[in-house]
Amino acid sequence: MKLIEKVQVKNRLGLHTRPATVIVQLLQNCRSEVSFTCRRETINARSLLSILMLAARQNSKITITVEGQDSEARKTMEALVEAFENRFGE
């Protein structure tokens, strides 16, 4: 199953180290493949360095793609969208 959602970076400082760390920790026990696309660049969302290299600023649009088994892919997508919506707890 392949799920695709678009989110907006709401953090004032964009996707800096703290939100990137939250994303990587969120995906630690997930078996689905997760990628982010921002400004035509697609990266592996499990890589802290790759997330930082996206240089996604506040209000940047990111497309999240999750590929995996039905229930796990849905849970992963929901958790990621919620994290973006809640500004990663900041």
Q: Which residues are catalytic?
A: 16
User: For residue 88, what are the CA distances in angstroms to 49, 66, 78?
Assistant: 17, 19, 13
What's the longest Cα–Cα distance across the chain?
Answer: 34
Ramachandran angles phi, psi of 51, nearest 5°? -60, -45
